[in-house]
Structure 1
Amino acid sequence: MQILVAGASGMIGARLVARLRAEGHDVRTLVRREPRAADERRWDPDAGHVPDDEIAACDALVNLGGAPLAQLPWTDARRTAILESRVLTTTLLADAVAESPSPPTVWLNASAVGIYGDRPGERLVEDSPRGAGFLADVVDAWEAATAGAAGTTRVVLARTGLVLGPGGALAPLRLATRLGAGARIGGGQQRWPWISLDDEVGAMIHLLTSSTLAGPVNLVAPATSTSEDVTRAVARVLHRPHLLVLPRPVLRLALRDAADDLLLADQDVAPDRLLADGFVPTHRDLDRAVMAAFARG
Structure 2
Amino acid sequence: MSTQATSPKHVLVSGASGMIGHRLIEELHAHGHRVTRLVRRDPKDASEFRWNPAQRTLDARVLDGVDAVVNLSGSPLSKLPWTYNVKKEILRSRVNATLTITGAMAASSTPPALLINGSASGAYGDRPGQVLDEDSALPETDEFLPRVVDRWERAAQTAPEGTRVVLARTGLVLGRGGVLTVLKTLASVGLLSQLGDGTQHWPWVSLRDEVRALRFLLESDDAQGPYNLVGPTPATADEIQQQLADELGRPYKLKAPSTLIDLTLQKAGRELFLADQQIRPKRLLDAGFSFKDRTAGQAVELALKSPEFEPEPGAGV
The higher relative CO (CA closer than 8 Å, separation ≥ 6) is in: 2
* Structure 2 alignment gaps of length 5 or more: 1-8, 308-317
Corresponding residue SS for 1:3:
strand
Cα offset for 1:212?
Answer: 1.8
The residue number in structure 2 matching 1:85 is 93
The reply to whether residue 102 of structure 1 matches residue 110 of structure 2 is yes
Cα offset for 1:109?
Answer: 0.5
The reply to whether residue 50 of structure 1 matches residue 58 of structure 2 is yes
Cα offset for 1:295?
Answer: 2.2
Tell me how far apart the structure 1 counterparts of residues 220 and 107 of structure 2 sit (CA, whole Å).
24
Corresponding residue SS for 1:33:
coil
Q: Which moved more, 1:193-202 or 1:204-213?
A: 204-213
Decide whether the 8 Å contact of 1:98 with 1:152 is kept in 2.
Answer: no
Tell me how far apart the structure 2 counterparts of residues 101 and 234 of structure 1 sit (CA, whole Å).
50
TM (normalized to structure 2)? Answer: 0.92
The residue number in structure 2 matching 1:8 is 16
Decide whether the 8 Å contact of 2:56 with 2:99 is kept in 1.
Answer: no
* Structure 1 residues 178-199: Cα deviation after superposition (integer angstroms, max 9, x where no partner): 1112221111000001000000
Cα offset for 1:244?
Answer: 0.6
The residue number in structure 1 matching 2:120 is 112
Q: What is the identity percentage for the equivalent residue pairs of Structure 1 and Structure 2?
A: 46
Decide whether the 8 Å contact of 1:2 with 1:60 is kept in 2.
Answer: yes
The residue number in structure 1 matching 2:313 is none
Corresponding residue SS for 1:241:
coil
Amino acid at match of 2:263: L
Match of 1:235 among 220, 230, 245: 245
Amino acid at match of 1:289: A
Corresponding residue SS for 2:37:
strand
The residue number in structure 2 matching 1:175 is 185
Corresponding residue SS for 1:17:
helix
Number of residue equivalences: 297
Corresponding residue SS for 1:242:
coil
Cα offset for 1:148?
Answer: 1.5
The correspondence of residues 144-293 of structure 1 with structure 2, limited to 5 A, is: 144-149=154-159, 151-293=161-303
The reply to whether residue 134 of structure 1 matches residue 134 of structure 2 is no
Judged with a 3 Å threshold, the aligned counterparts in structure 2 of structure 1 residues 48 and 249 are, in CA distance, closer, same or farther, namely same
Match of 1:65 among 73, 76, 88: 73
* Structure 1 residues 87-106: Cα deviation after superposition (integer angstroms, max 9, x where no partner): 11111211221332111111
Decide whether the 8 Å contact of 1:233 with 1:290 is kept in 2.
Answer: yes
* Structure 1 residues 245-285: Cα deviation after superposition (integer angstroms, max 9, x where no partner): 11101100001100111000000000000010010000002
* Structure 1 alignment gaps of length 5 or more: none
Decide whether the 8 Å contact of 1:237 with 1:287 is kept in 2.
Answer: no
Tell me how far apart the structure 2 counterparts of residues 240 and 36 of structure 1 sit (CA, whole Å).
43
Tell me how far apart the structure 1 counterparts of residues 258 and 299 of structure 2 sit (CA, whole Å).
27
Decide whether the 8 Å contact of 2:105 with 2:160 is kept in 1.
Answer: no
Tell me how far apart the structure 1 counterparts of residues 31 and 112 of structure 2 sit (CA, whole Å).
19
Cα offset for 1:150?
Answer: 5.5
Regions of 4+ moved over 2 Å = none
Please provide the CA RMSD for this pair.
1.1
Judged with a 3 Å threshold, the aligned counterparts in structure 2 of structure 1 residues 296 and 51 are, in CA distance, closer, same or farther, namely farther
Tell me how far apart the structure 2 counterparts of residues 91 and 296 of structure 1 sit (CA, whole Å).
37
Tell me how far apart the structure 2 counterparts of residues 247 and 86 of structure 1 sit (CA, whole Å).
32
Decide whether the 8 Å contact of 1:97 with 1:152 is kept in 2.
Answer: no
Tell me how far apart the structure 1 counterparts of residues 166 and 77 of structure 2 sit (CA, whole Å).
22
The residue number in structure 2 matching 1:39 is 47
